[in-house]
Amino acid sequence: MSKTGIVYHQDYLKHDPGRGYPERPERLRAIVDALKRVGYWSSPNVRVIKPTPATRADLELAHDPEYIALIERLSKFEKPLDADTPVHANTFELALLAAGGAIATGRAVTTGEVLNAFALVRPPGHHAARASGGGFCYFNNIAVAVKSMGLKTLILDIDCHAGNGTMDIFWRDDSVLYISLHQWPCYPGVGWWNEVGAGAGEGFTVNLPLYPNTGDDVYMCFLKSFVPPLMEQFKPELIGISAGFDAHRSDPLTQMNISSHTYYQVGRLVCKSKVFAVLEGGYNLDALPRAILAFLVGIRDGQLAAEERPTITQEEIKEKSTQRLEEIKKFLSKYWDL
Ligand SMILES: [Zn+2]
């Protein structure tokens, strides 16, 4: 039976923004410990893959050379990119290793070495645009990987924050369909449904903003209303998941009401395709490993031994969400059959 690839390097733990930052090494430690504890790490269905750093040429597929040089320079002088995104002496090098992890994940899937794969990387990437970074992100790991594979790709971004960086990089590109489900309003303040890309890429960015306190029922309703029909019409050769788990109801940075069931269902929705996932956010150390395990069971179309109950959205938010869903469908029907 084909394996699932887990791309991981222990140096990912060395990225340490500092005291008080939610994007901290303990996140990965909790995930790896949990995967080992349940026997996942050593399972015959799993291949652990050690990545190598991305090259400058890889990064230039998604970023301006001047921006790459800026991160290198900030690393040398340990000057922060912004208040959320400090830069230390090893940041440049570790950000290259994270982008390299995403590339290794994409490659393992496209060469058929594994059935699907997950990159357990830090720092995350989806807020890094062509010429800017922020929100804990320096280089856009998934964008670098997608560009480097060069295939027609659907990027499904399930992080609770809109992936403004990924959106920017593929804004005018019709070879990549970007779909993001995120809390609205929320950082970084972009991702309303009328933001659809431009030029040849118009219609290939699909933003699905969700009300705070959205539960599994409404989340799945949005997901099923857009992802399967768009997959069928776009016919991607590869699916990349920007796998953030901070829409979980216990996440300290957001106000959503999602349980592991949603992450399991996201995995199942794409399990028949070539899928690679790249870790983004997720800041509750109990919920994060559970959510990832649920997703990993889903992408193998396995059975979830659920520890959590599915969540139901309050009536008032459900009604408003249904209305919004219809509005978005109507608006996007000039690009897609919905
Ligand atoms: Zn996030």
**DSSP result, 142-202:** HHHHHHHHTS-EEEEE-SSS--HHHHHHHTT-SSEEEEEEEESS-TTS---TT----GGGT
| C-alpha torsion angle, residues 229, 308, 298, 294 (rounded to 10) | 120
Contact 159, 186 (CB under 8 A): no
Distance of CA 188 from the midpoint of ligand 1 (Å): 9
CA angle 293-294-295, nearest 5°?
90
Contact 283, 253 (CB under 8 A): yes
Task: Tell me the per-residue pLDDT of 219-261, one tens digit each, with 9 for 90 and over.
Answer: 999 999 999 999 999 999 999 999 999 999 999 999 999 999 9
Contact 101, 7 (CB under 8 A): yes
CA angle 110-207-328, nearest 5°?
125
Give the model's pLDDT for residue 307.
76
CA-based torsion, 306, 308, 309, 312: positive or negative = negative
Distances, alpha carbon 32 to alpha carbons 7, 13, 140, 142, in Å: 11, 11, 23, 21
Distance CA(221)–CA(219), nearest Å, equals: 5
Distance CA(138)–CA(111), nearest Å, equals: 28
Task: Tell me the per-residue pLDDT of 27-55, one tens digit each, with 9 for 90 and over.
Answer: 999 999 999 999 999 999 999 999 999 99
Give the model's pLDDT for residue 106.
98
User: What would the two tokens of residue 206 be?
Assistant: 């699909």
Ion ligand 1: residues, Cβ under 5 Å = 159-161, 244, 246, 281
Distance of CA 161 from the midpoint of ligand 1 (Å): 4
Number of neighbours of residue 302 by Cβ within 10 angstroms: 15
Which residues face 49 on adjacent strands?
7
Distance CA(69)–CA(73), nearest Å, equals: 6
Distance of CA 242 from the midpoint of ligand 1 (Å): 10
Give the model's pLDDT for residue 305.
87
Distance of CA 158 from the midpoint of ligand 1 (Å): 9
Taking the alpha carbons at both ends of the chain, their separation in whole angstroms is 36
Distance of CA 295 from the midpoint of ligand 1 (Å): 17
Which residues 6+ apart lie within 8 Å of 312 measured at CB? 215, 216, 217
Give the model's pLDDT for residue 1.
61
Tell me the whole-structure pTM to 2 decimals. Answer: 0.98
Distance of CA 1 from the midpoint of ligand 1 (Å): 34
Select from 86, 62, 101 the least CA-distant residue to 136: 86
Ordered domains of the chain (ranges, CATH): 4-332 (3.40.800.20)
Distance of CA 94 from the midpoint of ligand 1 (Å): 20
Q: Is 227 exposed, middle or buried (0-12, 13-18, 19+ CB in 10 A)?
A: buried
| Chain position carrying tokens 């469908």 | 329
Contact 256, 249 (CB under 8 A): yes
Distance CA(110)–CA(276), nearest Å, equals: 9
Distance CA(182)–CA(247), nearest Å, equals: 8
Distance of CA 246 from the midpoint of ligand 1 (Å): 6
Q: Is the peptide bond before 123 cis (omega within 30 degrees of 0)?
A: yes
pLDDT by residue for the chain (338 residues), tens digit each? Answer: 699 999 999 999 999 999 999 999 999 999 999 999 999 999 999 999 999 999 999 999 999 999 999 999 999 999 999 999 999 999 999 999 999 999 999 999 999 999 999 999 999 999 999 999 999 999 999 999 999 999 999 999 999 999 999 999 999 999 999 999 999 999 999 999 999 999 999 999 999 999 999 999 999 999 999 999 999 999 999 999 999 999 999 999 999 999 999 999 999 999 999 999 999 999 999 999 999 999 999 999 999 987 789 999 999 999 999 999 999 999 999 999 99
Distance of CA 19 from the midpoint of ligand 1 (Å): 19
Helix 287-299 × helix 25-37 angle, to 10°: 60
Distance of CA 176 from the midpoint of ligand 1 (Å): 21
DSSP single-letter state for residue 271? T
Distance of CA 126 from the midpoint of ligand 1 (Å): 9
CA-based torsion, 117, 111, 176, 232: positive or negative = negative
Give the model's pLDDT for residue 56.
97
Select from 171, 89, 122, 156 the least CA-distant residue to 7: 122
Which residues are part of the catalytic machinery?
A: 127
